[in-house]
Homo-oligomer: A and B are copies of this chain.
Amino acid sequence: MEKIIYRRPVQYYETDRMQIVHHSNYIRWMEEIRVAFMKEHGMPYHQLEADGILMPVLGVTCQYQMPLQFGDIFSAGCHITDYNGVRLTLSYEIYKEGCDRCCVTGTSQHCFTNADRKPIRLPRRNAALHDLFLSLLEQDIAEKL
C-alpha cells in the first residue's frame, strides 16, 4: 500500500450533476497533493516562489477508475518518477478512505523558471532542492526494483 501524504474530505462544491466529483477537480487535487509533498520534504512551495523559483505545469494526465462523492474522504500518495535538473515528473494515486482500490491516478510534468518565467537549471539555482528531487527519484526507482 502507498504511503499517504495527504487527506481531506470531498467538498460539496466539487461535485457535479452526475453527483460525483467533477473530473477537473482531480487536477486541482494533484496540485494540493504536490504542495503537501513539497512541504513534507521541507520545501514549501510558497517559499520557493518567494525565493523566485516557479514550477509551471507543462502537462498533466489523469485516469479515472472510480468516482468519489460528497461524504467521502480522499487520501493520496505522490512520487517523483522523472527528474533531470530541468524537467520534473510527479505521479499521484488518489484513494477513497475505507476502500482499498486506487480511484484516480495522474501525472504532472514541470519545468523550473525564475519570477520572470525564464527557464532556470535547478542544480545551479537551488542545489538543496536539486538534491532532494534526485534522492526522491532514486528512492522511487529503488522501490520498484
A residues with CB within 8 A of B: 8-9, 11-13, 15-20, 22-25, 27-28, 31-32, 35, 44-47, 49-50, 54, 56-64, 67, 69-71, 117
Given contacts A59-B62, A61-B61, A24 and B28 within 8 Å (CB-CB)? yes
Complex alpha-carbon distance, A25 and B14, angstroms: 12
Given contacts A16-B17, A17-B70, A59-B62, A32 and B11 within 8 Å (CB-CB)? yes
Q: Which among B11, B56, B63 is the interface contact of A18 at CB below 8 angstroms?
A: B56
Interface on chain A toward B: helix, strand, loop, or mixed SS? Answer: mixed
Contact B11 A28 (CB under 8 A): yes
**What distance in Å separates the Cβ of A142 from its nearest Cβ neighbour in chain B?**
28
Contact B61 A59 (CB under 8 A): yes
List 7 A–B pairs whose Cβ atoms lie within 8 Å, in order of A's numbering: A11-B28, A13-B24, A16-B16, A16-B17, A19-B19, A49-B70, A59-B61
Given contacts A16-B13, A17-B15, A28-B11, A63 and B71 within 8 Å (CB-CB)? no
Contact B61 A60 (CB under 8 A): yes
Complex alpha-carbon distance, A64 and B59, angstroms: 6
Known: A12-B16, A17-B70. 15 other contacts (CB 8 A): A11-B31, A11-B32, A17-B17, A18-B54, A18-B117, A19-B19, A24-B25, A24-B31, A27-B60, A44-B71, A46-B70, A46-B71, A57-B64, A60-B60, A60-B61
